Structure 1
Amino acid sequence: MPAELDEKTTRYGDMLADALAEAEVCVPEGTPLHEAAVECREMALSYLEDGRHFRAADDPVNALAAYSYGYGWLDCGVRLGLFSVPEDTELFTT
């Protein structure tokens, strides 16, 4: 089981980092939706950093939870149209 947890934690951390690299805010600046998009992105980035902190502290359970929450923030933003992503990506549930 620990090997599975380690692999899954690594995979989710990489997936969140890749998703952050691909998702771009696509709503006009100065609008409430732009502010929401920026907040979603900041939350995802914060969870990525938290996950890395937990990973370095040898706490894969909390690292995986942080990566999952961060990815959820970003994926929700994509579904709401706050971010544009490449059409050929498999990182999001568009």
Structure 2
Amino acid sequence: MAADLAEKTDRYERLLAEALDAATVAVPSGTPLHDAAGEFEEMARSYLEDGRHFREEGDPVNALAAFSYGHAWLDAGARVGLFDVPDEGHLFTQ
């Protein structure tokens, strides 16, 4: 079971990092929605950092939770149109 947790934690960390690299803000700057996109991206990046911290501290359960939660922020932003994201692939829900 520990190997499954380690593999899943690695996979979700990569997923979040790749999704952050692939997403671009889709709304005009100077608008409240642009500010919201920035906040969504900041939350995703913060959870990526938190997950990496938890992993370094030997806490893979909270690392996995942080990576998952960070991806949820980014994916939700993409679904409501804050981000342009790839139409195909594994990074975002369709």
Distance 1:87 1:67 in 2: 22
CA deviations 1:9-28 (Å, max 9, x no partner) are 00000100000000000100
Provide TM-score, normalisation by structure 1: 0.97
Partner residue of 1:60? Answer: 60
Partner residue of 2:72? Answer: 72
Distance 1:74 1:89 in 2: 15
Provide TM-score, normalisation by structure 2: 0.97
Aligned residues: percent identity? Answer: 65
Superposed CA RMSD in Å reads 0.7
Aligned length: 94
Partner residue of 2:29? Answer: 29
Q: CA deviation at 1:85?
A: 1.0
* Aligned: 1:93 with 2:60: no
> Structure 1 regions of 5+ residues with no counterpart?
none
Q: CA deviation at 1:88?
A: 2.5
CA deviations 1:41-80 (Å, max 9, x no partner) are 0000000000000011110000000000000000000000
Partner residue of 2:19? Answer: 19
